[in-house]
Structure 1
Amino acid sequence: MRLTGYDTSYYLDSANAKKEFASLEGDHVFDVCVIGGGFTGLSAALHLAEKGYKVALLEAEKVAWGASGRNGGQVCQGHNMSHQDMIAKVGKENADLLWQMSLDSVDLVKDLIEKHKIQCDLKQGVLHVANKAKHCDELKQSVDYKQNKLNYQDIEYLDKAQVSSMLGSDKYHGGEYWKQGAHLHPLNYALGLAQAADKAGVSIFEDSRVTDYQTGSEVQVNTEKGCVKAKFMLLACNGYLGNLEPRIAGKIMPINNFILATEPLTDEMCARINPQDVAVADSKFVINYFKLSADNRLLWGGGENYTAKFPSDIGQFVRKYMLEFYPELSQTKIDYGWGGTLAITLNRMPFFQRIESNVLVAQGYSGHGVAMATLGGKLMAEAIDGQSRGFDVFAQMPSPSFPGGTLLRWPGLVAGMLYYSLRDRLF
C-alpha cells in the first residue's frame, strides 16, 4: 500500500510499510521535545530514548517528508572543508576529531541499519570524479593527504582510464574512490529509524507543525492543537526551519535540488555504465550525482533553484544533465522526477549551536546529510546526557551568517551560484 501525505518520487513508490502517527492534541510533558522528523530528529530521538529519556518528536508533515526522504542517498566520509582549513579554524586536535567523526558518521549509519534490520538497499562504494583535467591535481593531493597525513587507507586515486572503466564514460578525468563509502534508499532508511525510535518508546507526532515556543528553565512548544512542555528542546528542521527561530535562520540558505529516475535499465546497460554499482558525484560547483537503484533504474541528481517553486517538469529539467554524460540514454524513458529542499551554510560545514542551555540546533549539512545528520542527532543526544565533546567541537567551528540575513541572503546566493555555474561551463 502506498504511503499517503508524501510527494511523488521513486522512493515513495518503493517505500517500505510505515506506521501512521497521530497529530499532537492536548498538553503533554516530556523530558525532551524534538522538532523535525528527518535524519537529525529521528536519530536524536532514538538515541535519547535508548538512554532512558522520555521523548516527543513533532513533525509538521510526515516522517522523512522533507529532504531526508528525497535525497541522493550517498553516505560518505569527509567534510566539505579540507582538514588543513579546519586546522586553521579550530586547531589540529579539534580538526582531527572532526575528521574522525566524519568516519564515525558512516559507521553509525551502517551500524543502525544492521542493529535495527533496516531494509534500505545498502551498497558499498562512493566515487568523486573530476569533470575537468585541472581538477585532478586537487583530487590527487586530497587522496595523498588522507593516506599519508591522516593514515586513512580506504581511499584511492583513480586515473582517467580507471574511471572510464568504472563508469563507461570518457567524460571524467580522474576520481577519488571512497571504498568504505556507501549509498542507500534514503526514505526507507529514515522510515527504519522512525520504526526503531517508536519501538524504543519515542512519542512521534505527525501533521503537528510547531507554531511557536517559549524558552526558560522549561520549554513550551506549541502546535495548533496542543503543546509539549519539556526540559530540553532540539531543533532539527534544517531546510524547513522557515521563521521558527530567527536567531539561527540566517546561518543557512534553503536551496532546492532535483532528481530523476529512469525506467529500469537492462542488465547489460547497468554493467556498462556502472559495473561496480557505486554512487558517483562530480566536481562541478552545482554537482551531478547518480547511482543505480535496486531495480536497475539510474537515479540522477542535477540542477538547483532557489525559489519557492519547483520546475514544472522536473524529469526534463534534470534529463539534460544526464544526457551530457550518457547520451546513449536519450531514448530512455524518465519515470520519475522530484525535488527537495536542503540547507547549506556559507562555509559548507554543519552548523551546531546551543542557543540556550536547554535548546540545541544541528542543521546546514550542505549535501552530507545522510551520514552527518544521523551523527548530528546522536551528538545532540549525547550533549543532553552530559557528554558534549563531539557536539561542542562542531559548535566551535566559526559559521558566518549569510550577508543581509534572511532578507538579502537569497539574491546574494543566486548571484554567487550563477557565477559558479558559469565557471562550471567555461573554465
Structure 2
Amino acid sequence: MFGLRALKETQEHTHSFYAASANTATAYPALTGDKQADVVVVGGGFSGVNTALELAERGFDVALIEANRIGWGATGRNGGQVIGGIGHTPERFKKSIGEAGIRDIYQMGIEARDVIRERVERYDIQCDLKWGYCDVALKPRHMKQFAEWQAFEKTIGNPHPYTLLDREEIKTYVNSDRYLGGLHNTANGHLHPLNLCIGEAQALNALGGAIYEQSRVVVIEPGALPVVRTEAGSITAKTVVLAGNAYMGGLVPKLSKQVLPSASSVIATAPLSPELAQQILPGDVAVCDPRTALDYFRLSADRRLLFGGLSNYTGMEPKNLKGVMYKKMTQVFPELENTAIDYAWSGWIGIGINRMPQLGQLSDNIHYIQAYSGHGVAPTHMMARVTAEKIAGESSRFEAMANIPHMAFPGGPLLGRAILAVGMTYYKALDLL
C-alpha cells in the first residue's frame, strides 16, 4: 500500500497537462457590487457553464459565478473521455420514475454525447474531439458482460454499432497483451475537457452571459428573489442553480451530505514518437477496463499517453503519485518503461450512494446538479440541458431525474468514506475472481 497526502489547491489551475495546453487563460472579473439577473449559476464546470449557456441561448439574462477559474475542478482534470449513459441501472427506481422515466434516462444517455458534438460544431470549439472508444476485458466473464451490453444497446435504440472483439481483434485498437478482448464503438470518444469548457464559457459570454471568476459564494439567501453573496458582491435573481458538485463544501449542508468527494488521478507522459503511439494505441481510442477501481487511458493530440485511475474514497492522493501511476501504466504497456512522465495531478469527483446524478430543487427557484460518480463529461451536458429546460418550462424530462430518491451519507463524511471503502473492497475482491 502507498502513503497518502491531501490535495494541495490554489485559486489557479492545478499543474495538469490540460492547464499547460489550454487554448487561452481565462481572466473574467471578480464579482463586486450588487447586481441582478434572471438566473445565477454557481460553479464554472461543465454543469454550470452549460446550464448557463443553454439558458442564454433561450434569451435569459444569466450570470455565472466561479470560486476559482473556469474548469478548475473535475471538469478540467478528468480523463477527457466522452462516454454516454446516465448513471447506472435506472430500473432500480421504477417505483419512483415509472417505465417512462426509465426510457427517458436511457435516451438522455444517448443524447448526452450529441450535445457535445453540437456545442463543438456550433461554436467552433477547438478541443481535439475524436470519436472511438473501447471497453477492454481482463477476464472471460467481462466478455460475456460485453456481449450482453452489445445486445442491450440495440434494445434502447442506440444508432451506433457496438462491435465485440476477440484477443487478436482488440489489438487493432489497443495493443496490449493484458486484454482478452473488448467492445468497440464510435458513439463514445475523447477530447481536451478544459478547452471544451473554456470554449463553452466563451460562447456564453458572447451571448451576453456575465461570468465572474475568483468569486467564492459565501451564502445563499432564499426567498421570492434569492440572493447569492460572495465576499465582495451579490447577485439577486429569479432563479439559482447550484453546480459546484464535489467542490461545494458546506455551502448547502443538505447537498454536501449527499455527495462524497473522492480522489482520482491522472498522469501524462512526454510526447511519444508517432511509431510508439501507433504501436500501443493503433485505434487512437479512449479505453476503460470494467473493474471497480478501473484504469482509463487515451492519447492526447500531441501523442502523450494520458493514464488515469486510482480512485479512492479517502479524498487524498498517493505521496508518490507519478511512481504509483507509472507502475500501473507499464503493466498495461511495458513498452513505456523508459518514458518520462511530464504531468501528474489529482482531483475530486462527487460520489453519490446510488451512483445516479443528483438533480433537483431545494425550493421552487433554487435548483442543484451534482454527483456524477466519476462519469461526467457527457452526462453533465445532458443534466445542464434538462435543468435549463425545466427553468424555461419546456420539458418534463427533469422529473425523470428529480424523482430518483437520494440518501445522505450516514454519519457524515468520515463514516461515509468508511462505508464506501468497505464497499469498494468487496467489489475489488469480486474483480479478482
TM class by smaller structure: over 0.9
For residue 15 of structure 1, report the CA deviation from its aligned partner.
Answer: 0.7
Question: How far apart are the structure 1 equivalents of 2:150 and 2:411?
Answer: 37
* 1:56–1:149 distance in 2 versus 1, CA, 3 Å: closer
**Runs of 4+ displaced beyond 6 Å:** none
Question: How far apart are the structure 2 equivalents of 1:105 and 1:31?
Answer: 26
CA RMSD of aligned residues (A): 1.8
Question: How far apart are the structure 1 equivalents of 2:95 and 2:43?
Answer: 33
The reply on whether 1:74 has 2:81 as its aligned counterpart is: yes
Indicate conservation of the 8 Å contact 1:25/1:227, yes or no: yes
Q: What does residue 103 of structure 1 align with?
A: 110
Question: How far apart are the structure 1 equivalents of 2:90 and 2:371?
Answer: 19
Q: Return 5+ residue gaps in structure 2 as ranges.
A: 1-10
The reply on whether 1:311 has 2:310 as its aligned counterpart is: no
Q: What does residue 29 of structure 2 align with?
A: 22
Structure 2 counterpart of 1:338, one-letter code: W
The reply on whether 1:113 has 2:120 as its aligned counterpart is: yes
Q: What does residue 195 of structure 1 align with?
A: 202
Please state whether the residue corresponding to 1:269 is helix, strand or coil.
helix
Q: Deviations over 1:94-119 (max 9, x none)?
A: 21111111111100001000100100
Question: How far apart are the structure 2 equivalents of 1:159 and 1:78?
Answer: 24
* 1:413–1:107 distance in 2 versus 1, CA, 3 Å: same
Please state whether the residue corresponding to 1:310 is helix, strand or coil.
strand
| TM-score, normalised by the number of residues in structure 2 | 0.93
Question: How far apart are the structure 1 equivalents of 2:426 and 2:326?
Answer: 22
Please state whether the residue corresponding to 1:160 is helix, strand or coil.
coil
2:231 to 224, 237, 241: 224
* 1:64–1:206 distance in 2 versus 1, CA, 3 Å: same
Structure 1 counterpart of 2:245, one-letter code: N
Question: How far apart are the structure 1 equivalents of 2:366 and 2:96?
Answer: 25
| Sequence identity (%) | 39
Indicate conservation of the 8 Å contact 1:76/1:178, yes or no: no
Structure 1 counterpart of 2:218, one-letter code: T
Q: What does residue 341 of structure 1 align with?
A: 348
* 1:400–1:176 distance in 2 versus 1, CA, 3 Å: farther
| TM-score, normalised by the number of residues in structure 1 | 0.94
Q: What does residue 171 of structure 2 align with?
A: 164
User: Which stretch has the larger CA shift, 46-55 or 183-192?
Assistant: 46-55
Structure 2 counterpart of 1:261, one-letter code: A
Once the two structures are superposed, the pairs formed by residues 169-180 of structure 1 within 5 Å of their partners are 169-180=176-187
Q: What does residue 6 of structure 1 align with?
A: 13
Indicate conservation of the 8 Å contact 2:271/2:302, yes or no: yes
Q: What does residue 300 of structure 1 align with?
A: 307
* 1:419–1:261 distance in 2 versus 1, CA, 3 Å: same
Please state whether the residue corresponding to 1:91 is helix, strand or coil.
helix
The reply on whether 1:358 has 2:365 as its aligned counterpart is: yes
For residue 357 of structure 1, report the CA deviation from its aligned partner.
Answer: 0.4
Structure 2 counterpart of 1:226, one-letter code: G
Question: How far apart are the structure 2 equivalents of 1:196 and 1:262?
Answer: 31
Aligned residue pairs, count: 423
Q: Deviations over 1:132-151 (max 9, x none)?
A: 11121111111112224646
Q: Deviations over 1:293-345 (max 9, x none)?
A: 10111000020233454333322221121112112211111111011111121
Q: Deviations over 1:141-180 (max 9, x none)?
A: 1111222464644222222221133211121123222212
Question: How far apart are the structure 1 equivalents of 2:267 and 2:45?
Answer: 21
Indicate conservation of the 8 Å contact 2:138/2:180, yes or no: yes
Question: How far apart are the structure 2 equivalents of 1:387 and 1:314?
Answer: 46
1:326 to 326, 329, 333: 333
Q: What does residue 394 of structure 1 align with?
A: 401
* 1:177–1:91 distance in 2 versus 1, CA, 3 Å: farther
